[in-house]
Amino acid sequence: MLQNKNFKIVIKTTIGLLLFLWMSYSIYNQIRHQPDLQTTLKELALSWDRAGIYYFILVIVLMILNWSIESVKWRLLLKGTERFSFLRALQSVLTGVAVSMITPNRIGEYMGRILYLKNVNKLQGVTVTIIGSFAQLIITGFLGLAGLIYYRIYIKYSAWLDVLLVSSVLLCSALLYCYFHLNKILAWTSAVPLLKKLKTYIEIVKKFDRKHLFRILFISLCRYIVYTVQFLLLLKLFLVEAPTIDLIATIWLIFWGMAIIPTIAIAEIGVRGETALFFLLPLCSNQFGIISSTVLLWFINLIIPALIGCLFVYKIKLYEDD
């Protein structure tokens, strides 16, 4: 059984690497054939003056704020399950980021986080982590929907965007209904024989009243605003020139597209690059700037925290129930 598990991990990692290489080569070709690439590079070198350095430092500061907000949300989710200091919550979150790097859509983040919980609370930890991810997905979905509506009206219309629009409305509505009707979901799981054994561990959802759920949504919104500003600053820094409102709407659409495209973190940069190019090229032909901004955002928000999280993995001990 262990061999099968290891085989699956190897297959997923290999597919991820191949996807990464293929998309990276595709992006490289697009940048290489960009008109006036040398001129763009010269302008970029000139733009990295003192103000450009300040922009970059601000993006780094916002990364710290981003994961700090997530740590605050993690502590709120664990309320009634286990007490966490802010520092321990931050370590737990960053460990989750590190573990998530080799799993589809970063689902390994759940497993990384619960390593810090007592054994008796680990399954409940998975439940509350899913609730937190649900809240983040709802914010991403509804703002992505707003960005999609703006994009198809004011930037570029395409018939397939109507299909995406209808699908997004249905999906966002379903997510919102499930989020605010957790007790009904619990009742449904209790009626399924295979899930009855898990009832003890998922009954924690009863502790989440509407006020609590709204607070989690608000914190998720704050985090979303932070990385929207990060992406906007990087686009400006790399000379992706377009009206700010157009860029914000498109950023929201890109984030939503990334949320619903299944991928593996190791291949994610290729998918991000292609998605960003697809939606931003109608606004600006600076392919180098679009790709550079996307890669740097990914590196700052995921790779750096994951590397820090790897340091914390070695500090983990498996807590007992007492």
- What is the reported pLDDT for 320? 43
Q: Which residue has the higher pLDDT, 21 or 79?
A: 79
pLDDT at residue 295 is higher than 90? no
Distance CA 173, CA 180 (A): 11
- Amino acid (one-letter) located at 160: W
Q: Where are the alpha helices (DSSP H) in the chain?
A: 2-32, 37-47, 50-77, 86-100, 108-114, 122-150, 159-179, 182-190, 199-202, 210-237, 244-260, 265-280, 287-298, 304-313
Which of 36-50, 52-66, 79-93, 249-263 tops mean pLDDT?
52-66
Distance CA 221, CA 21 (A): 33
- Amino acid (one-letter) located at 117: L
Contact (CB, 8 A) for 256 and 148: yes
Distance CA 290, CA 27 (A): 11
Question: pLDDT above 70 covers what percent of the chain?
Answer: 69
Q: Which pTM was predicted?
A: 0.79
- Amino acid (one-letter) located at 244: T
The CA-atom distances, in angstroms, between 233 and each of 54, 150, 272 are 10, 21, 17
Distance CA 176, CA 224 (A): 17
The predicted model gives 51-80 an average pLDDT of 88
pLDDT at residue 115 is higher than 80? no
The predicted model gives 113-125 an average pLDDT of 73
Distance CA 138, CA 221 (A): 9
- What is the reported pLDDT for 319? 44
Place of tokens 């899930």: 195
Q: Which residues pair with 104 in a beta bridge?
A: 264
The predicted model gives 316-320 an average pLDDT of 48
- What is the reported pLDDT for 63? 95
Distance CA 192, CA 211 (A): 29
The predicted model gives 164-188 an average pLDDT of 86
Distance CA 118, CA 322 (A): 8
Least confident window among 168-177, 194-203, 292-301: 194-203
pLDDT at residue 142 is higher than 80? yes
- What is the reported pLDDT for 198? 61
- What is the reported pLDDT for 17? 55
Determine how many CB atoms are found less than 10 A away from the CB of residue 320: 8
Place of tokens 């989690």: 216
Q: Which residue has the higher pLDDT, 64 or 107?
A: 64
Residue 42 three-state SS: helix
The residues spanned by each domain of the chain are 63-313
Structure tokens at 129: 């982590």
Distance CA 231, CA 293 (A): 7
Residues 6 or more apart whose CB falls under 8 angstroms from that of 247 comprise 232, 235, 240, 280, 283
Place of tokens 């007492």: 322
Q: Which residue has the higher pLDDT, 192 or 44?
A: 192
pLDDT at residue 45 is higher than 70? no
- What is the reported pLDDT for 254? 93
- What is the reported pLDDT for 225? 96
Residues in the chain: 322
The CA-atom distances, in angstroms, between 240 and each of 4, 51, 150, 270 are 46, 16, 19, 19
Helical pair 122-150 and 244-260, crossing angle rounded to 10 deg: 140
Distance CA 234, CA 272 (A): 15
Contact (CB, 8 A) for 70 and 222: no
